[in-house]
Every structure is written in structure tokens, then in C-alpha cells.
A and B are shown apart, each in its own frame.
Chain A
């Protein structure tokens, strides 16, 4: 199913059209950070074939049956303990993030958002990457917020900058990193600075790579109502990320709050199952992988950093707690390898990979993942070169 071409229905200029009277024209002219067009213009990915859907359903059913039938086995209990821990730790943040997203959806218009953002793209990116200092969020909460902000027309590059920078460049992470490293502010400073630099670099690169290609996605699972009311979606475009928000939001504060919660619950249900899948894989890794094995593969240069990046992707830890795990490798691995762990996890792990599917197209996710891993590797190599050996 495709959305209607709203540029014809609603007189919205198509990308690249010069129109200085348009309030957002300034932003459209910025090649690397073009305001993306309202979401329904993005081509919807083809629906999964029935076989794929059935397989997913069967896999979920089998997993549920496995838990029920083998629940008394010690390894299944260990898996369940870690799995539930990750989910319970993340769920409150995700719920709050969804609520913030819902409130943004109902109370913040595109125009208002545009007036509050810097006009220069690099300034916007630099500001967005550091927004975590004012609005500290972990990586689970930031996804629903960014999803709504992009729906409001936040440029891709700024969205990526906040998405990657927010979970690292924030005071809570700074304090937890210092505590994990015996109040060593230097480690925390390196982490925050490197995280900020990576967020800015990846944001700039994504903005340039996807200046003319769609990178933001509205999948059918995220916005079910739009499927059965395309005309309303087209009419209300610009007021809502999924093109139907105003139809669902009655007037008055109570009505608007109800609408915000409706959007928030939609967001939560759309993103939460990705968190659950990611948490399940992480719990499996924690139940099966012996961390001392990593230490036996550390003789070659850069291998420890690569292994720690892999570990960060597998473990799916919260950015506010991962410094304690990294610190447990002190004396065994170099600081750059520990830094590789602390920089990769908050930007790219299994649950985030799945959650990004609710925000970005597949091509954009591949590019994003590649850029993050490349940037982390470059930073780690630079730290190694600077002579930061064993911490």
C-alpha cells in the first residue's frame, strides 16, 4: 500500500522547489540537512510476505512455549532473570519517552519547532548532539522522542545527532562513569567528548548521504490508523507525524492530553516489541558467553577494541550502567578498548538496531550502523596512537 501523493492534494511544494514565502523554505535549501517532507511522502516498504509473517508468529509462539515448558531448568531461569531485568530496567524510560513523544506530537507544531532551532545546519547539529545535557535520556527513551520529532520535521542530521549524543553526553552518564572509574573525571571527559564528536560526525555524514534519498520511515505498524483513512492523513499533514493526529485530538487541554496518551501508547506498542527481542538476544548472550574468553583474544592490535564493541552490541546495557562493566576490564584491557565498549553501546546495540527500524529506512540503518562503528574505530585507534595504554 502506498500513501497518496499529498503534494498534489495539498499544494505542498515538492522537495527542491524554490519558494521563499514558505515558512520552512530556508531549511529545504540546506542540502545536507534538508527538512524531510511530511512522512507519508516516504515510500512505504513492501509488506512482509505472508510466509515471513507466519514465521515470525511461529518463532514468537515457540519462544513462549519454550519458556513455559522448560521454565524449571537453571539456564532458562538464568536467562529469564537477565531478560526480565533488562526489560524492567528499560520499560519505565521507554514509557516516559513515549509520553514525551506524545506531548510533542500534540502540543508542538512544526512551525514552532522550526522557530526554536538554529538556522545554520552545523549549529543545529552541534546543539542537538549536546541536548542530553539539558534533557538527559537513555537510549531507550530517546527513540520514541526522536521518532515524534522527525515527524514534526526535525532534519535528519539533527535527529541523528540527538539520537546518538543524548544517551552519552548527559550528566547522569558523566557521574556514573566517574563513579565506575574511582572518581576519575578524565575517563568521563574522554567518553563525553568522544561521544559528542562521533554524534556530530555521523549526523553530518548522514545528512549528506541522505540529502536526496528517503531515510525516515513510517512503517505500517507504527501508524495503523493512517491505513484506513488516507484522505484524513493527507488533509492533516503537517500537523501530525503520521498525518492523522489532529483528527484524533479533540479541542481543550483534557482532550489534547488524551490524544497525547493515545499517541504515546501507539508509540510504546510500536517500539516495545523491538526492545523485548533485543533484550532476549542480550540475555541469551549473557547466559552463554564467558567474558574471560574475550581476554584470551587480546594479543593482536585493535582486536580487544573490536571484541569490546561486539560485546557492547550483544549485551544491550543501559548507558547509565555500562561504565561499571567496562571498568571491570581495567588492568586486563587498555582504556581505548574500554572506551570502545562505552561508546558503541549507547549508540548501537541489538535492541537499538531493532528500534531504529521504527524510525529509519533499512538503507539508512545500514549506513548509520556502518558510520557509528567506523567512527568508534577511528576514535579508538586515535586514542591508542595517543598512547593511552592500560588505564
Chain B
């Protein structure tokens, strides 16, 4: 016990840095960082891992630092993200997060957002989906290109009372989060969808296909999918969508 204590007092810094290194390596090897960050962050994480390794070596050779209650608090605080990492692995932003972050349809395709012809933009298909699957990002951002076409789309389900009051109880929201850098800045891309069975749970992953239309509400085009077919599907390999051009 005495030896353990002495070792901890001597090596608490390398141990702490080692725990962080282990966590980072685990995230990279298991590609679990995709739960939190966009794919391009792999380069930065590898760089961070290398720096942490260098820190460990420098901390092993450094003179021992005193370990008092101040340092113990610091260690506890720095362990906190590692504990949360274990809790959050495999979790995705869900309907609760959607409720907190959604600023309404106007925030998605309001008057300030020019509606472009997505077909000429070369960004009409979801890279992860089949040929007929369309990304919710493009549907919500450039809906004109898909108007009056039959499409299929995959997203999470949200039954919003305000939407139901405005558009009818049969209408719900299909959304996916679009990530700029990390899950903290992810914003929902959403469309309205009709024809989803009422007993399907919130946050369920749904693939709906049908005719896509633009409904005019207060001079604003609101994208609506009238689903002829809908099925519950498993969570996609990449639950988030990404702004392709930001990196």
C-alpha cells in the first residue's frame, strides 16, 4: 500500500496523461470519435495523441510534483470527461436535443435562405444511402430541386405539439443533425412528414418515401413529405450529416 502511494505520488501526472492517451487511442481505433466529432477531426486527434505521448515521457522524467488537495481536485476534474466518455459512447443526439435546438421551420428555410436548385448543385444524393435516398440536409436547405418528386429519406422522428396544432395531428417532423465540428454545434435539418403511424415512438429511426411538396405558409415554402410508405429502420452507421464544404 505504501509503495502504491509512493508510486502514485511520484507518477500521478504520467498516470493522468496516460488515462487520457488510452481514451483517445480507444476512440481512434474503434472510430468511436464519430459519435462526437466529424470524421476530419481524426487528424487533430492523432496529433493530440502524439503530443500526449510526448507529455507522458516528459512527465516521467520530471521532478515529482506535490500532490495535495488542489492537485487531487484537478485530477478529479480531468477524469470527469473520461467518465462521461464511457457513458456517452454509442449515444446520438435525439428528439430531446431536437426540441432544445430547433428554432422552427423559418430557421431552416426562411426568407433569408435562398432556395437553390439542388439538381444543378451536384449535391442531390446522400452518400451513405441508396440511389433514391435523399439527404435531409439538402431537402431542408434546397427543397425546390425536389419539389413534386418521389423521394425516400431517412431520419429521426419527432412529434412536436406546435407542428401538430398548425399542420394537423397526422404531421410530424423527420430530422437529422447536421454537424459543423462536433455534436455540441450540431443543428437539426428537418422536414414535415405526413402518414407516419401514430404509435411509432419518438426518436425512432424511420425511412419514409413518397411525394415531396412545398407547402406555402405565410409566404414561406415549408417542405412536406407525404409518405406513401414508411418503415422503422436501425440507426445508420453515420447518424449525423456533415457540411461538406466547411473542411
A residues apposed to B, CB below 8 Å: 48, 50, 53-54, 56-57, 60-61, 63-64, 67-68, 71, 74-89, 91-93, 95-96, 98-99, 176, 179-180, 182, 220-221, 224-225, 228, 258, 261-262, 264-265, 268-269, 272-273, 276-277, 279-280, 282-283, 286-292, 295, 315-318, 320-322, 324-325, 328-332, 390-391
Of all chain B residues, the one with the shortest Cβ separation from A335 is B112
Interface class of chain A by DSSP = helix
Residues of chain B with a CB closer than 8 A to A96's CB = 47-48, 51
Residue numbers of B with Cβ under 8 A of A are 13, 16-17, 27, 33, 35-37, 41, 44-45, 47-48, 51-52, 54-55, 57-59, 61-63, 65-66, 69-70, 72-74, 76-81, 83-88, 91-94, 96-97, 99-104, 106-108, 110-114, 180-185, 187, 243, 245-246
Quick check: A83 and B58 within 8 Å, CB to CB? no
Taking A85-B184, A95-B47 as given, write out 14 further A-B residue pairs in contact, using a Cβ cutoff of 8 Å, ordered by the A residue number: A57-B73, A82-B183, A86-B182, A92-B44, A93-B44, A176-B246, A179-B246, A220-B70, A225-B63, A261-B55, A272-B78, A276-B81, A328-B103, A330-B112
Cα A88 to Cα B36 in complex, Å, equals 8
* In the bound complex, CA of A257 to CA of B6 (Å): 28
Residues in B with CB closer than 8 Å to A63 are: 76, 80
Interface of B, helix, strand, loop or mixed by DSSP: helix
The CA of A53 and the CA of B57, in the complex, are separated in Å by 30
Q: Are A87 and B81 in contact (CB under 8 A)?
A: yes
Which residues on the B side are within 8 Å of A86 (C-beta)?
Answer: 182, 184
Closest chain B CB from A357 CB (angstroms): 13
Contacts of B76 in A (CB 8 A): 57, 60-61, 63-64
Q: Which residues of A contact B104 (CB under 8 A)?
A: 292, 295, 332
> Please, how many angstroms separate the alpha-carbon atoms of A282 and B183 in the complex?
12
Listed residue (A64, A225, A283) with the most chain B CB atoms within 10 angstroms of its CB: A64
Distance between A133 CB and nearest chain B CB, rounded to angstroms? 19
Most chain B CB within 10 A, of A63, A265, A280, is at A265
| A324 x B103 contact (CB < 8 A) | no
Contact A291 B100 (CB under 8 A): yes
